[in-house]
Chain A
Amino acid sequence: MCSKKDEMKKKFRVVGTRPIRPDGIEKVTGQALYGADLHAPNMLVGKMLRINEPHAIIKSINISKAQKLPGVKAIITFQDFMEVSTNKTNDILENCLANKKVLYDGHAVAAVAAINSEIAKKALDLIDIELEMLPFVVDVDTAMQKGSPVVQLGRKHENVSDDFSDNVTSFCSFGHGILEDGYKNAAKVIERSFKTPSVHQGYIEPHACLASMTADGRSDLWCCTQGQYNVRAICADIMGIEESKLRVTASEIGGGFGGKTTVFIEPIALALSLKAGHPVKIVMTREEVFKATGPTVSSSIDIKMGMSKLGIITAAHAVIRYEGGAFPNETYELGAQSAFAAYDLKAVKSEGYNVLTNRPAQAAYRAPGAPQAIFAVESAVDELCEQLNLDPLETRLKNAAKKGTKASYGPTFDEIGLIATLESAKKHPHYAAPLAQNQGRGISCGFWFNFGGNTCVSLNINFDGTVGIIEGNPDIGGSRASISQMAAEELGIPLERIRTVIADTNSLGHNDVTDGSRVTFSVGLATIKAAKAAKKEMCKRVAKLWKIHEDAVIWKDGYVLPAGPNAGDQEPLSLKEIAAMSAQTGGPIAGHHEVNAEGAGVSFGVHLVDVEVDPETGQTKILRYTVFQDAGKAVHPSYVEGQMQGGSVQGIGWALNEEYIYDSSGKLQNSGFLDYRIPVASDLPMIEPVILEIPNPGHPYGVRGVGETSIVPPLAAICNAVSRATNIRFTELPLSPPKVLSAILGKE
């Protein structure tokens, strides 16, 4: 049979090397087209009117003055949209454009399309809005209390206790074993409360789109998104058209990290375009990005944990409260599920709540829900180690989850790499390096589920022996390269002969959003299978040509050859030769694969960090940072390292600086990069990546997703390091200089 031996392939020719990415030249010369880079003839500029109040009833919207302004072509409000089919889509639409109430500072109430941005801005000023202010709530703990202002009525699920306000929409609980028995067997039990702020993904490219919609519903949408198919599904539902009528093309994307998995402006641009009869482009300002797109949840978490003298965690309990803004979401579940995933525990329970507040609707942010919960758990583990005088790395090794461990959230783990990453950290010189005064070392484990999901890939063998791959997930950080590499590997041809393009929604079947670290895994898997299908067809063609049975030919390193001496002594035929003959042997050759991929394989990482805290200023400096992560198989190691480094630095920002700051009137105080400070080059040392490869049994080449785990450990690793450097246990992020300084001064 064709391609049988390939399954067992151990040595790779292309996978594991570091070629130049195929979309590189466009991106270093400024030719690549991102969301805001497209212009259409006769294009209008769209702008949104946003209200800078946290909570108010919209009494009236008067657009008559604005409509009369020359150059204004269309104005829309929520009333211009028809009813949508699901609660979920309605939430998305109401987040784009407020219906009866303004729910957060920055919520939009109207949109204008005009011939230029000057006129559009003037028109916004001419729209009269009458509001009735309502009391508001932005803090998670306050929002849960009875008597707190209620953001949206009627969203509470049945399983939520009546002791809470109506802002508490959902509850979940996971775990096994008897906690009380575990606490009895502990040498030490601690109970701690933790808080993490809401932080923004901080992609450098603001949301942008260009829409064109005609009266018969046929429409085109160009936008920066992590998932063009999801954009199509949401927008088609909102606009009341069939999906086939709406073609969505994903531009190059300037970062997403989860934040570009939903829509904020796309349906608005479509509706404006329909009304005006022109293409409409909307580009968000940075302030709009901060105020009205989705930051991650803020949290308040309680941990109770017991540990034996030898360092065994005897029982652990987490209560997780996530605030994700004005609309319900499921991030609390991911938090409750991931909290204790790194440990093999006899008695464990994690409970999660979702809470509504007058803040923008949260969106996914790299491993959504996991960093907050794991920050709390890893901080508690570290404090117990300190109190019981135990080595924090050895202790984690003693409790580490492994193959066969029943995870706290239900499943039993297959091959996983946690122990290997911990062992690798233990052996690394970083762990034994000396520390000076005011310095501390922190460690934390991290975890992410990884997803597979719906995926389509088409692979065409061109007549000249080159190969075109069509896939449906935007290239967010080198995936064209890794997908081309896997195809080159499978087909046994040089990488340069392959070109991978990203399809619009009408050129390929459905693909799930680029999220859950799914692309290299799922699209890679589908690409390999599509290549196998093409190889099978090529074997068939050659067998026909040689007039022997299909089973009598085999595929080897880019050639079809007779399977053995009985099959004849024909000269092997290369892919290029077979391609050249394809018109004569039955027509063009292609392979394709469609799958709802499973077996993504969970991912673990361990981070080590050394910090120095300045006792005079409270400022924390990162001195050394090492990341250990299981990649299954690193297809393009440079981009795997990039994921490990980039995620770590986002986590460093979260731990040390980043936070949404609301004032006493419920308004966001830092909606720009000056006051919302993400890490800059001079804040950081090199980030050393150590890739481990524990093959994922669910992928032909052993690949696991690597994109998200790296943002999980930095929060606790840094907090543990700062706590050890200062001898003060911190439980609230960010560890900004004023906070650390006041704790230091308080101790003295």
Chain B
Amino acid sequence: MNKIRVGVSVNNDKIEFLCSPEDTVLDVLRDNLRLTGTKEGCGTGDCGACSIILDDKLVCSCLVLAGEVEGSEISTIEGMAIDGKLHPLQQNFLKHAALQCGICTPGILIAAKALLERNPDPTETEVRYWLAGNLCRCTGYDKIIRAVMDAAAEMRS
């Protein structure tokens, strides 16, 4: 097996890993780096549970080959709270009970963070369309949308 050596930064830590040509970034995060906060719901780009930020772009990590991310910066759910302090999105998800089982939560938090970085004052419709790629089967989205809107308001003030 020919392994590829890749250097990246994950949540601001410089790391190196070896991967097979067919490994995805999700495989490497979960299996090699044991960063299991990023979840796999489908492996085909349809559920958003594996959302990460790759060089400022929101991507499904199950669709990105690990061998092709040399030199890039990756942010995952594990890097969202800084020094143990929760991000306003995380706080509002807890306050609003925006998670039931919680399996979709890391992906939705990452996606919502990417939205608020681009659009600090989104409308409800904008939030709904932005998060349309993140499936949640438990909540019916109501409390998730409210949590994102409230976090946005809090971050603006």
- Chain B residue with Cβ nearest A31: B37
The answer to whether B94 and A645 touch across the interface, beta carbons within 8 angstroms, is: no
- Chain A residue with Cβ nearest B35: A30
Known: A204-B49, A674-B46. A638 touches B94 (CB 8 A): no
List the A side residues contacting B143 at CB < 8 Å: 638, 641-642, 645
List the A side residues contacting B44 at CB < 8 Å: 286, 672-674
List the A side residues contacting B96 at CB < 8 Å: 638
The answer to whether B100 and A649 touch across the interface, beta carbons within 8 angstroms, is: no
A712 to B87, CA, bound (A): 37
List the A side residues contacting B41 at CB < 8 Å: 204-206, 254, 286, 673
- Chain A residue with Cβ nearest B27: A117
The answer to whether A30 and B138 touch across the interface, beta carbons within 8 angstroms, is: no
- Chain A residue with Cβ nearest B97: A638
- Tell me if B15 is interfacial: C-beta within 8 Å of chain A: no
At the interface with chain B, which of A32-40, A150-158, A378-386?
Answer: A32-40
List the A side residues contacting B146 at CB < 8 Å: 686
- Chain B residue with Cβ nearest A200: B137
The answer to whether A203 and B144 touch across the interface, beta carbons within 8 angstroms, is: no
List the B side residues contacting A31 at CB < 8 Å: 37
- Tell me if A29 is interfacial: C-beta within 8 Å of chain B: yes
Distance in Å from the Cβ of B155 to the closest Cβ of chain A? 16
- Chain B residue with Cβ nearest A37: B36
- Tell me if A555 is interfacial: C-beta within 8 Å of chain B: no
- Tell me if A133 is interfacial: C-beta within 8 Å of chain B: no
A673 to B43, CA, bound (A): 10
The answer to whether B101 and A28 touch across the interface, beta carbons within 8 angstroms, is: no
Known: A28-B90, A118-B22. A476 touches B100 (CB 8 A): yes
List the A side residues contacting B49 at CB < 8 Å: 204
- Tell me if B81 is interfacial: C-beta within 8 Å of chain A: yes
A39 to B34, CA, bound (A): 8
- Chain B residue with Cβ nearest A637: B97
A201 to B30, CA, bound (A): 25
Per-residue contact bits, chain B 46-78, to A (CB 8 Å; 1 contact, 0 not): 110100000000000000000000000000111
List the A side residues contacting B76 at CB < 8 Å: 30
List the B side residues contacting A30 at CB < 8 Å: 35-38, 76-78, 80, 106
A283 to B41, CA, bound (A): 11
Distance in Å from the Cβ of A446 to the closest Cβ of chain B? 15
Pick the residue among B1, B104, B140 that contacts A204 (CB under 8 A).
B104
Pick the residue among A256, A286, A646 that contacts B139 (CB under 8 A).
A646
The answer to whether B105 and A642 touch across the interface, beta carbons within 8 angstroms, is: no
Which residues of chain B in 101-152 are interfacial with respect to chain A, using CB atoms and an 8 Å cutoff? 101-106, 109, 125, 127-129, 131-146
Per-residue contact bits, chain A 641-652, to B (CB 8 Å; 1 contact, 0 not): 110011111100
Pick the residue among B128, B138, B142 that contacts A255 (CB under 8 A).
B138
A638 to B141, CA, bound (A): 13
- Chain B residue with Cβ nearest A27: B102
The answer to whether B34 and A253 touch across the interface, beta carbons within 8 angstroms, is: no
- Chain A residue with Cβ nearest B146: A686
List the A side residues contacting B99 at CB < 8 Å: 24, 27-28
Pick the residue among A29, A32, A285, A649 that contacts B90 (CB under 8 A).
A29
Distance in Å from the Cβ of B26 to the closest Cβ of chain A? 11
Pick the residue among A253, A255, A636, A686 that contacts B137 (CB under 8 A).
A255
- Tell me if A478 is interfacial: C-beta within 8 Å of chain B: yes
The answer to whether A205 and B103 touch across the interface, beta carbons within 8 angstroms, is: yes
List the A side residues contacting B94 at CB < 8 Å: 20-21, 24-25, 28
Specify the main secondary structure of chain A where it touches its partner: loop
Which residues of chain A in 281-334 are interfacial with respect to chain B, using CB atoms and an 8 Å cutoff? 283, 285-286
The answer to whether B77 and A642 touch across the interface, beta carbons within 8 angstroms, is: no
The answer to whether B39 and A681 touch across the interface, beta carbons within 8 angstroms, is: no
Distance in Å from the Cβ of B99 to the closest Cβ of chain A? 6
Known: A286-B41, A673-B47. A29 touches B81 (CB 8 A): yes
The answer to whether B137 and A673 touch across the interface, beta carbons within 8 angstroms, is: no
A206 to B78, CA, bound (A): 21
Known: A674-B46, A682-B129. A18 touches B78 (CB 8 A): no
The answer to whether A255 and B34 touch across the interface, beta carbons within 8 angstroms, is: no
- Tell me if B153 is interfacial: C-beta within 8 Å of chain A: no
List the B side residues contacting A206 at CB < 8 Å: 40-41
Pick the residue among A34, A645, A649, A686 that contacts B39 (CB under 8 A).
A34
Distance in Å from the Cβ of A259 to the closest Cβ of chain B? 10
- Chain A residue with Cβ nearest B127: A681
List the B side residues contacting A646 at CB < 8 Å: 100, 137-140
- Tell me if A202 is interfacial: C-beta within 8 Å of chain B: yes
- Tell me if A701 is interfacial: C-beta within 8 Å of chain B: no
The answer to whether A684 and B141 touch across the interface, beta carbons within 8 angstroms, is: yes
- Chain A residue with Cβ nearest B91: A28
Which residues of chain A in 679-695 are interfacial with respect to chain B, using CB atoms and an 8 Å cutoff? 679-682, 684, 686-687
Known: A27-B102, A30-B106, A686-B145. A650 touches B137 (CB 8 A): yes
A32 to B37, CA, bound (A): 8
Known: A646-B139, A673-B135, A684-B141. A33 touches B36 (CB 8 A): yes
A206 to B102, CA, bound (A): 14
Pick the residue among B31, B42, B138 that contacts A673 (CB under 8 A).
B42
A691 to B31, CA, bound (A): 44
Distance in Å from the Cβ of B146 to the closest Cβ of chain A? 8
Distance in Å from the Cβ of B21 to the closest Cβ of chain A? 10
- Tell me if B95 is interfacial: C-beta within 8 Å of chain A: yes
- Tell me if A257 is interfacial: C-beta within 8 Å of chain B: yes
- Tell me if A477 is interfacial: C-beta within 8 Å of chain B: yes
Known: A681-B145, A682-B132. A254 touches B140 (CB 8 A): no
List the B side residues contacting A37 at CB < 8 Å: 30, 36
Known: A29-B77, A286-B42, A645-B142. A18 touches B128 (CB 8 A): no
A33 to B106, CA, bound (A): 12
Pick the residue among A34, A203, A478 that contacts B97 (CB under 8 A).
A478
- Chain B residue with Cβ nearest A38: B36
List the A side residues contacting B144 at CB < 8 Å: 681
Distance in Å from the Cβ of A174 to the closest Cβ of chain B? 32
Distance in Å from the Cβ of B157 to the closest Cβ of chain A? 21
- Chain A residue with Cβ nearest B138: A646
A16 to B72, CA, bound (A): 48
- Tell me if A252 is interfacial: C-beta within 8 Å of chain B: yes
List the B side residues contacting A647 at CB < 8 Å: 140
Which residues of chain B in 6-28 are interfacial with respect to chain A, using CB atoms and an 8 Å cutoff? 20, 22
The answer to whether B86 and A680 touch across the interface, beta carbons within 8 angstroms, is: no
Per-residue contact bits, chain A 619-655, to B (CB 8 Å; 1 contact, 0 not): 0000000000000000010110110011111100000
Most chain-A CB neighbours within 10 Å: which of B30, B39, B40, B140?
B140
- Tell me if A363 is interfacial: C-beta within 8 Å of chain B: no
A21 to B98, CA, bound (A): 11
Distance in Å from the Cβ of B41 to the closest Cβ of chain A? 4
Distance in Å from the Cβ of B98 to the closest Cβ of chain A? 9
- Tell me if A715 is interfacial: C-beta within 8 Å of chain B: no
A663 to B146, CA, bound (A): 41
Distance in Å from the Cβ of A723 to the closest Cβ of chain B? 23
Given contacts A36-B30, A672-B44, 15 further A-B contacts (CB under 8 A): A21-B97, A30-B76, A30-B78, A36-B36, A202-B137, A255-B137, A257-B137, A286-B47, A478-B100, A641-B143, A649-B140, A673-B42, A682-B131, A686-B142, A686-B145
Which residues of B are in contact with A by a Cβ distance under 8 Å? 1, 20, 22, 30-31, 34-44, 46-47, 49, 76-78, 80-81, 86, 90, 93-97, 99-106, 109, 125, 127-129, 131-146
Which residues of A are in contact with B by a Cβ distance under 8 Å? 18, 20-21, 23-25, 27-34, 36-37, 39, 118, 201-206, 252-257, 283, 285-286, 476-478, 636, 638-639, 641-642, 645-650, 672-674, 678-682, 684, 686-687
16 CB-based A-B contacts, threshold 8 Å:
A20-B94, A28-B99, A28-B105, A28-B109, A30-B37, A30-B77, A39-B31, A253-B101, A254-B103, A256-B101, A286-B43, A642-B100, A642-B138, A642-B143, A649-B139, A680-B135
Minimum-distance CB pairs A-B, first 4: A30-B37, A254-B103, A649-B140, A477-B100
